[in-house]
Amino acid sequence: MKATREDLTFDTLKVLFLLGLVVVTLYPFINVLAVSLNDPMDTIRGGITVWPRQFSIVSYQDALSGQNMVVAARNSVARTVVSAIVQTFATAMVAYTLSRREYVFRIPIAIIYVITMYVDGGLIPTYFLYRSLGMVNSFHVYWLPGLTTAFNMLIIRTYIRGLSDSFIESAKIEGANDFWIFMRIILPLCVPVLATIILFTSVWQWNYWWDTFIFNSSRVNLTTLQYELMKRLASANAAMSGTSMADAFSRALDQAGNQVTPRSIRAAMTIIVSLPIIMVYPFLQRYFVHGLTIGGVKG
Amino acid sequence: MNPTESTFSAQHDALAPATLGRRNWSSIFRNQGVLMLMSIPFLVHLLVFRYGPIFGWVMAFQRYRPGRGFLDQEWVGLLQFQTLFADATFYRVLRNTLAMSAIKLVMGTFFAILVAILINETRNRPFKRTVQTISYLPHFISWVVAANLVLEVLGPRGILNDMLVGLGLTQERVLWMGRPELFWWIIGWSHVWKTAGFGAIIYLAAMTSIDPQLYEAADIDGAGRLQRIWHITLPGIKPVFVILLILNIGQLMEAGFEQQYLMQNSLVMDYSEVFTIYVLRYGLQLQRYSFAAAAGIFRSAVSIALILGANTVAKRLGQETLM
């Protein structure tokens, strides 16, 4: 097939658009990295794009020297690990029971799960209920409310249904109970889908800040990295209010006596908070796309 | 195809509830006791944590004061709803929510499909893979991080101001985040930045299942690239488009509050405040709990009506639907 003029125009525009997409996607990350590694006082002069002009790690030193950051990092890691393991295990267990065709409560339970995908109680009633359950100012609010979720449960159940029944049948004949079958037969066979769900849960947990904000904001020892960054962002937003451009600049210059600026610390914190995600990104990429396909769940 | 479909198709299985009456419950408990122990505790947990708040809706018909039981409160009927519908802020919040949802829905869908088509039309595999890998990245970072990046790009010393001033398009640097009339569009474009690449996956998956013979036939008929896209690719992704549209219409009242909460400032408040933020402000900050609960119920009720409505319309039009 010969290339027509339409093909040529189309291909040129296509490549330009996709290259533009790549640049627009990557530039903000590279820019913030450059700002975080540039001397904060020099950054005020502007013009930092993809490379630091005066290399300095003072922003990172300052960001990490705050006591909250160590506590926050510990809590972020803890909530991610605990939730990824406990929630995935619990969700897989429910998914297994609902995959057993003979189970009498299979349909009612499935319906009760599916409804939660569309209806929620709203912020205020949820807040009061969680408070009466001791979820306020408590680490438990990070992992307990979302113990099992409909979406993940349906993905795992679909996967289990795709497995051969013969293992289960022969184990049953030998008198194995369902818990044993789940632990010894189903879990090992589900490793691919469980890996997907663990990554799913981990990313969500790592990125979530709303629960810290609503339930745990008055306890410094329960803070998380996302919440610390969110607080910095909120004060940057507050500083913008009631100002003109000139004020914004003069404020930046007022800080010239200090060694660091809020903007540089924010840049350093942004990189610190995103680093774990970037590091696991190759896995995420593979398993997420895979997960979307195996679950057959779209949306 | 979708979660609900597979759940309800279960009713056609051999052991449908109709046969239950004839079965002996004690033998069921003996055979399925372990299954029950493995699932019912989690069901109870779900009922408490996910259905519990729905029972808290009674507080919208009260003047709720913390410290007393739910039933030991002053009942006020529909007063909270009347106050809500008389509140001018409520209508502004409703306008902002629907406007930003609509902008995000249209722009997000358009760019996801555009990216999918262009990637689908690319034959060079390394280039294709690189573009895809990079385009997913923003999906996996939090909105807290994304909002910081947006603030940096649009900031006084950000690239946008640098470029506009450098090219002489504007005389002075612009405080983009302080311009109320631009806020909705900043939300729209940052949504596109964060979601277009990942959103394209699902359309790409739909495109790969289109029969290649259709394209070959179109080639023989002398169809150009654009004609093939228009007559084969787009109709091929229509079912997925409809299902995603229905799901997104159910989310219209949500508008993704995180994004607005993290990017707003008091200069743009009149255009940035959406429902969840309104509920948060009246409820937890101004402590008008019952009023905020009523606003929350309104939001949920409209969401459910929207999703059911969209589903019905899709069914009427003979499209593949959710339920």
The CATH number of the domain holding residue B259 is 1.10.3720.10
- Of the pLDDT bands very low, low, confident and very high (cuts 50, 70, 90), residue A27 is very high
CA angle B287, B98, B93 (to 5 degrees): 30
State pTM to two decimals.
Answer: 0.88
Q: Domain count of chain A?
A: 1
- Asked if residue B318 has pLDDT above 80, the reply is no
Of A97, A111, A207, the CB nearest to B38: A97
Residues B211, B244 share a domain: yes
Average of pLDDT values for B55-64?
90
Are A46 and B264 inside 8 Å of each other by CB? no
Residues B34, B116 share a domain: no
Residues in chain A, overall count: 299
Specify the range with the lowest mean pLDDT, choosing from A247-251, A275-279, B93-97: A247-251
Quick check: is A51 in a domain?
no
Query: For position A245, what pLDDT does the model report?
Result: 53
* Pick from A215, A231, A262, A199: nearest CA to A69: A231
ipTM: 0.89
Are B34 and A178 inside 8 Å of each other by CB? yes
- Asked if residue B290 has pLDDT above 70, the reply is yes
pLDDT tens digits, one per residue of A139-154 = 999 999 999 999 999 9
A156 burial via Cβ count (<10 Å: 0-12, 13-18, 19+): buried
Instruction: Tell me how far apart the alpha carbons of residues B179 and B174 are, in angstroms, rounded to a whole number.
Output: 9
Instruction: Tell me how far apart the alpha carbons of residues A241 and A256 are, in angstroms, rounded to a whole number.
Output: 21
Residue B141 touches chain A, beta carbons under 8 Å:
yes
Instruction: Tell me how far apart the alpha carbons of residues B146 and B160 are, in angstroms, rounded to a whole number.
Output: 16
pLDDT tens digits, one per residue of A207-221 = 999 999 999 999 999
- Asked if residue B23 has pLDDT above 70, the reply is no
Treating both helix axes as pointing N-terminal to C-terminal, what angle do B143-154 and A262-295 enclose, rounded to 10 degrees? 130
Query: For position A96, what pLDDT does the model report?
Result: 96
Q: How close is the nearest chain A Cα to the Cα of B317, in Å?
A: 21
Residues B152, B118 share a domain: yes
Residue A26 touches chain B, beta carbons under 8 Å:
yes
Quick check: is B237 in a domain?
yes
B18 burial via Cβ count (<10 Å: 0-12, 13-18, 19+): exposed
Structure tokens at B65: 């004061």
Instruction: Tell me how far apart the alpha carbons of residues B205 and A272 are, in angstroms, rounded to a whole number.
Output: 34
Query: For position A298, what pLDDT does the model report?
Result: 37
Cα–Cα distances (Å) from B6 to A157, A228, B12, B170, B304, in that order, read 10, 41, 11, 56, 21
CB atoms within 10 A of CB B94: 17
CATH number at residue A276: 1.10.3720.10
Q: Are B84 and B294 in contact (CB under 8 A)?
A: yes
Query: For position A293, what pLDDT does the model report?
Result: 57
What are residue A206's phi and psi, to 5 degrees?
-60, -40
Chain B CB contacts of A5 under 8 Å are none
Are B34 and A289 inside 8 Å of each other by CB? no
B106 burial via Cβ count (<10 Å: 0-12, 13-18, 19+): exposed
- Of the pLDDT bands very low, low, confident and very high (cuts 50, 70, 90), residue B170 is confident
Residues B216, B99 share a domain: yes
- Asked if residue B58 has pLDDT above 70, the reply is yes
- Asked if residue A76 has pLDDT above 80, the reply is yes
Residues B271, B149 share a domain: yes
User: Which A residues, 147 through 206, put their C-beta within 8 Å of a C-beta on chain B?
Assistant: 147-148, 150-151, 154, 158, 177-179, 182, 203, 206
Among B75, B100, B115, residue at a domain's last position: B75
Of A102, A229, A277, the CB nearest to B140: A277
User: Which A residues, 104 through 133, put their C-beta within 8 Å of a C-beta on chain B?
Assistant: 104-107, 109-114, 116-129, 133
Quick check: is B80 in a domain?
no
Average of pLDDT values for B200-215?
90
Domain residue limits at A188: 66-295
Of B115, B250, B299, the CB nearest to A122: B299
- Of the pLDDT bands very low, low, confident and very high (cuts 50, 70, 90), residue A186 is very high
pLDDT tens digits, one per residue of B116-146 = 999 999 989 999 999 999 998 999 999 999 9
Quickly list DSSP for A10-34: HHHHHHHHHHHHHHHHHHHHHHHHH
User: Which A residues, 52 through 111, put their C-beta within 8 Å of a C-beta on chain B?
Assistant: 90, 93-94, 96-98, 100-107, 109-111
Q: How close is the nearest chain B Cα to the Cα of A120, in Å?
A: 7
Residue B220 touches chain A, beta carbons under 8 Å:
no
The full 3-state SS of B194-207, as one line of letters, equals HHHHHHHHHHHHHH
Are B152 and A237 inside 8 Å of each other by CB? no
Quick check: is A132 in a domain?
yes
Query: For position B18, what pLDDT does the model report?
Result: 47
Q: How close is the nearest chain A Cα to the Cα of B47, in Å?
A: 8
Quick check: is B323 in a domain?
no
Query: For position A172, what pLDDT does the model report?
Result: 86
- Asked if residue B216 has pLDDT above 70, the reply is yes
Query: For position B197, what pLDDT does the model report?
Result: 93
Q: Domain count of chain B?
A: 2
- Of the pLDDT bands very low, low, confident and very high (cuts 50, 70, 90), residue B30 is confident
Quick check: is A128 in a domain?
yes
> Nearest-CA residue of chain B relative to A145?
B49
What are residue A38's phi and psi, to 5 degrees?
-100, 155
Domain residue limits at B33: 3-75
Query: For position A281, what pLDDT does the model report?
Result: 86
Residues B186, B104 share a domain: yes
- Asked if residue A241 has pLDDT above 80, the reply is no
User: Which B residues, 65 through 94, put their C-beta within 8 Å of a C-beta on chain A?
Assistant: 66
CB atoms within 10 A of CB A98: 25
Are A121 and B140 inside 8 Å of each other by CB? no
Four-CA torsion B280, B281, B285, B291, nearest 10 degrees: -80
| 3-state SS assignment for residue A103 | coil
* Pick from B213, B217, B197: nearest CA to B133: B197
Q: Are B53 and A125 in contact (CB under 8 A)?
A: yes
> Nearest-CA residue of chain A relative to B124?
A15
Express as a percent the part of chain A with pLDDT over 90.
65
Residues B65, B115 share a domain: no
Specify the range with the lowest mean pLDDT, choosing from A257-261, B81-85, B136-140: A257-261
Specify the range with the lowest mean pLDDT, choosing from B15-29, B82-96, B202-216: B15-29
Structure tokens at B272: 């940035």
| 3-state SS assignment for residue B62 | strand
Instruction: Tell me how far apart the alpha carbons of residues A69 and A189 are, in angstroms, rounded to a whole number.
Output: 39
pLDDT tens digits, one per residue of B8-21 = 444 444 444 545 55
- Asked if residue B296 has pLDDT above 60, the reply is yes
Instruction: Tell me how far apart the alpha carbons of residues A40 and A191 are, in angstroms, rounded to a whole number.
Output: 47
Instruction: Tell me how far apart the alpha carbons of residues A139 and A124 are, in angstroms, rounded to a whole number.
Output: 20
Average of pLDDT values for B174-203?
94
Residue B178 touches chain A, beta carbons under 8 Å:
yes
Query: For position A294, what pLDDT does the model report?
Result: 53
Query: For position A213, what pLDDT does the model report?
Result: 95
Higher pLDDT, A70 or B3: A70
Are A120 and B135 inside 8 Å of each other by CB? no
Query: For position B321, what pLDDT does the model report?
Result: 65
What are residue B4's phi and psi, to 5 degrees?
-65, -40
Cα–Cα distances (Å) from A97 to A177, A188, A191, B268, B293, in that order, read 12, 16, 17, 50, 36
Mean pLDDT of chain A: 88
Query: For position A249, what pLDDT does the model report?
Result: 57
Average of pLDDT values for B282-306?
90
Of B178, B197, B292, the CB nearest to A240: B178
- Asked if residue B49 has pLDDT above 60, the reply is yes
